[in-house]
Amino acid sequence: MHIHILGICGTFMGGLAVLAKEAGHKVTGCDANVYPPMSTQLRAQGIELIEGFGPEQLTLEPDLYVVGNVVSRGNPLMEAIMDRGLPYVSGPQWIGEHILRDTWVLAVAGTHGKTTTSSILAWILEDAGYHPGFLIGGVPMNFGISARIGGEDGGGGSFFVIEADEYDTAFFDKRSKFVHYRPRTAILNNLEYDHADIFPDLGAIETQCHHLVRTVPSCGRLVVNGREASLARVIGRGCWSEVEWFAGVTGWAMDEHADGSFDVSLNGEFVGVVRWSLTGEHNRWNAVAAIAAARHVGVPPAQAIASLAAFENVKRRMETRGVAHGVTVIDDFAHHPTAIATTVAGLRKKVGGARILAVLEPRSNTMKLGTMKDALPGSLADADLVFGYGAKGGGKDALGWDLGAALAPLAERARAFDDLPALVEAVVAAARPGDSVLVMSNGGFGGVHQKLLDALAAKS
């Protein structure tokens, strides 16, 4: 089958393209901006990429158009497809029908931690010899790729780990992506308000999450965060599968040691001690959830715990990008206030009294709308200095609110910039040996990490 993917350079759709190519399909695609690193990865797979959404792409005559949620009505290629009555389908539906069918799907849902938990779970299964397929919204360093079919010979396996995103599927399907995955094992990590561009309130996200619960068979298992009242409400709407709780009064628990290792127990029975390189309470619970999910498919918890010692984290999750002039520059994907707070807290525990310079770009759709702006000062409270960046003007990345005013409760500890070179100059001027510069954004942030390292290296 020849499929042509609209919006191919997004993380999800790019992963879909890789899976489709591995599955033996001819794959082409287009996007508004075709640029590295995704364009390089896809072209290395032999996938032809086209810049823009011109209707002349109909001359490719694919068997099916696969449409990403970046595409909306008015898109010239989409309008031509619809006018001609040509077959099209959403990315999540195509994945569900062509990749996930006949596999044991392990889906990881939640406002935070989906990428890390999916990566941990895939690694546990890999280390146990399960050869899972996966589609993850980041690059697990243990694998070096974000998606693969799986199986011993790379021809498809029995198990597939997928990051189960609550964002909507397509302009013609406003359900969350994860309703198409039909998992047998599902992790519900947490549930907070997010995606203010498509959800009016938390209740609307809870409804979508319950749609996911409804798709898990009676022989399936839900691994659910017991601390989350929102998830308790979701399960309370009805559940037809086995439920294992973690982080609550029953079920899976953990107890941290001073050296960063932690005990894992199930219903009060000691299971083992995790010793690994990751920091932060959120990551410890991510690990516990993955251990519980892996147990459902047959991996003994002791074996899963042993595998975690070799887990190498995910790119852009507390990833050290370099050290210059005695200053460590760290990259993290955090962009929701809760994720920002847990990331800063994890780093604080690691560096102790050393200074943390937080550099933040509020870039997600929710952040750009200003829905979470009042929570920013509290989420950055553990940082010594804060440098915020918000582009002005009418561009797609421009903030619709005053970042400086939002950070004002932090007083002299915080400054806001709308000029990237000025921000770099200010951070470098403030930084001194022993500091950690923690850069947080869900985008490329104008290559600020390397700009900081270069400027620090040139500092006398």
Query: Residue 419: in which H helix or E strand, if any?
Result: none
Residue at 12 is within a domain: yes
CATH of the domain at 56: 3.40.50.720
Look up residue 40 and give its two tokens.
């390089």
**Using an 8 Å Cβ cutoff, are 308 and 120 in contact?**
yes
**Using an 8 Å Cβ cutoff, are 399 and 368 in contact?**
yes
Q: Do 241 and 120 belong to one domain?
A: yes
Q: Do 173 and 194 belong to one domain?
A: yes
Q: Do 215 and 104 belong to one domain?
A: yes
Q: Do 381 and 433 belong to one domain?
A: yes
Q: Do 68 and 211 belong to one domain?
A: no
Residue with token string 């006949």: 102
Chain centre to alpha carbon of residue 417: 26
How far, in Å, are 23, 147, 259, 346 from residue 2 at the CA level?
A: 12, 20, 53, 46
Tell me the C-alpha distance between 382 and 274, whole Å.
26
Nearest to 247 by CA among 273, 270, 227: 227
Look up residue 436 and give its two tokens.
């950690």
Mean pLDDT of successive 10-residue segments in the chain (460 residues)? Answer: 94 92 95 78 88 96 96 97 98 96 95 91 96 90 89 82 93 94 96 80 93 97 96 96 94 92 95 90 93 97 96 80 91 81 86 92 73 84 90 65 87 90 92 92 83 86
Per-residue pLDDT, 43: 86
Q: Do 286 and 423 belong to one domain?
A: no
For the chain, what is the domain count? 3
Per-residue pLDDT, 164: 94
Per-residue pLDDT, 394: 55
Q: Do 385 and 435 belong to one domain?
A: yes
**Using an 8 Å Cβ cutoff, are 67 and 78 in contact?**
yes
Question: Range of 22's domain?
Answer: 2-91
Per-residue pLDDT, 308: 95
Look up residue 350 and give its two tokens.
């690691």
Q: Do 285 and 373 belong to one domain?
A: no
Per-residue pLDDT, 393: 58
Q: Do 302 and 323 belong to one domain?
A: no
Query: φ, ψ for residue 303 (rounded to 5)?
Result: -70, -40
Q: Do 135 and 262 belong to one domain?
A: yes
Residue at 313 is within a domain: no
Tell me the C-alpha distance between 109 and 115, whole Å.
9
Q: Do 391 and 346 belong to one domain?
A: yes
Residue at 314 is within a domain: no
Per-residue pLDDT, 42: 87
Per-residue pLDDT, 82: 98
Residue 328's SS3 state is: strand
Query: φ, ψ for residue 305 (rounded to 5)?
Result: -65, -40
Per-residue pLDDT, 392: 67
Tell me the C-alpha distance between 310 and 287, whole Å.
13
Chain centre to alpha carbon of residue 457: 31
Q: How many CA atoms lie within 13 A of 430 on its CB side?
A: 21
CA-CA-CA-CA torsion sign (173, 177, 181, 186): negative
Q: Do 117 and 258 belong to one domain?
A: yes
